[in-house]
């Protein structure tokens, strides 16, 4: 609908909207995160949900103890290789539409433990991440900012058409392969459907 006409009508006391707007507005203001934390970032996440930073203002105060009731996964902290399959399994158990925020340097890249043998070099190797938050650990404000970024993203999602949201695309997977514990490393070491190493231009 034409934005100009919409505002003209609003001045006359007639409010118009689209189903898409209504649907997205409802979803973006009631994002329920899954309550789990892996390391120091989780403390910041808890802090963000408490009175001082008050995540409840965004309709996200109900941290759900069950993945069935959550639509946002905040991967807060270091994902070790031993923990990675469980994180992917939890993601698989969440119903669509679902979103992922990777919180902190460890969750997005392995952080200071990147060169270690036991830490996953970023959870985006196995599940699709919507918002990455850098920082070690990021402050609660950074999480709030990520939240607002996610809300803007949800608001822009289309219900139909070629660029429709992932959960309306029957081709797009909603479950991702859970890596197995191998003899030397996780198998596979990443999900090529989700993450592929960036091609580096190598010097001559």
Of the pair 90, 186, the CB lying nearest another protein is at 186
Q: b/e for 134-155, b at 16 or more Cβ within 10 A?
A: eeebbebebbbebbeebbeebe
Sign (positive or negative) of CA dihedral 100, 105, 108, 114: negative
> Is 161 one of the binding residues for another protein (CB under 8 A)?
no
Contacts with another protein, 77-96, as mask; x by CB under 8 A: ----xx--------------
Question: Interface with another protein by CB under 8 A: which range of 5-13, 66-74, 92-100, 182-190?
Answer: 182-190
Q: Which two tokens stand for residue 38?
A: 């892996």
Yes or no: say if 23 and 159 are a contact pair by the CB < 8 Å rule: yes
Query: Which long-range contacts link 156-161 to residues 24+ away (Cβ below 8 Å)?
Result: 156/24, 157/24, 158/20, 159/19, 159/20, 159/23
Distance between alpha carbon 117 and the CA centroid of its chain, in Å?
26
Residue from 19, 200, 201, 204 touching another protein (CB under 8 A): that is 200
Count the residues of the shown chain that bind another protein, applying the rule CB under 8 A.
16
* Token couple for 91: 């993601």
Residue 155: cis peptide before it, omega within 30 degrees of 0: no
Strand partners, 119: 80
| CA torsion, ordered 179, 180, 185, 187, to nearest 10 deg | -60
User: Residue 28 or 125: which CB sits closer to another protein?
Assistant: 125
Q: Segment near another protein (CB under 8 A), from 21-29, 54-62, 116-124, 148-156? A: 116-124
Give the shortest CB-127-to-another protein separation in angstroms.
17
In the bound complex, what is the minimum distance in angstroms from residue 108's beta carbon to another protein? 13
Binding range to another protein, per CB under 8 A, among 23-31, 50-58, 113-121, 127-135: 113-121
Instruction: Report, in Å, the least distance between residue 147 CB and another protein.
Output: 27
Binding flag, residue 203, another protein (CB under 8 A):
no
Where do we find the tokens 């009508």?
9
Binding of residue 117 to another protein (CB under 8 A): yes
Closer Cβ to another protein, 59 or 177, answer by number: 177
Residues forming the site for another protein (CB under 8 A): 81-82, 115, 117-118, 121, 181-185, 189, 197-198, 200, 202
């Amino acid at each position: 609908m034409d934005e100009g006409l919409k505002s003209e009508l609003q001045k006359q006391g007639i409010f118009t909207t689209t189903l898409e707007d209504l649907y997205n507005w409802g979803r973006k203001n009631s994002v329920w995160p899954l309550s789990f934390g892996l390391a120091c970032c989780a403390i910041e996440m808890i802090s963000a949900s408490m009175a001082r930073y008050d995540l409840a203002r965004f309709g996200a105060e109900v941290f759900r103890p069950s993945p069935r009731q959550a639509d946002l996964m905040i991967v807060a902290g270091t994902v070790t290789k031993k923990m990675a399959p469980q994180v992917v399994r939890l993601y698989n158990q969440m119903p669509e539409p679902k979103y992922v925020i990777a919180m902190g340097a460890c969750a997005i890249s392995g952080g200071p433990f990147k060169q270690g043998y036991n830490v996953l070099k970023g959870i985006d190797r196995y599940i699709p991440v919507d918002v990455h938050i850098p920082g070690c650990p990021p402050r609660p404000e950074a999480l709030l900012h990520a939240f607002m970024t996610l809300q803007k993203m949800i608001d822009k999602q289309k219900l139909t058409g070629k660029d429709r949201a992932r959960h309306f695309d029957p081709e797009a997977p909603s479950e991702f392969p859970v890596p197995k514990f191998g003899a030397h490393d996780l198998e596979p070491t990443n999900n090529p459907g989700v993450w592929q190493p960036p091609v580096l231009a190598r010097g001559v």
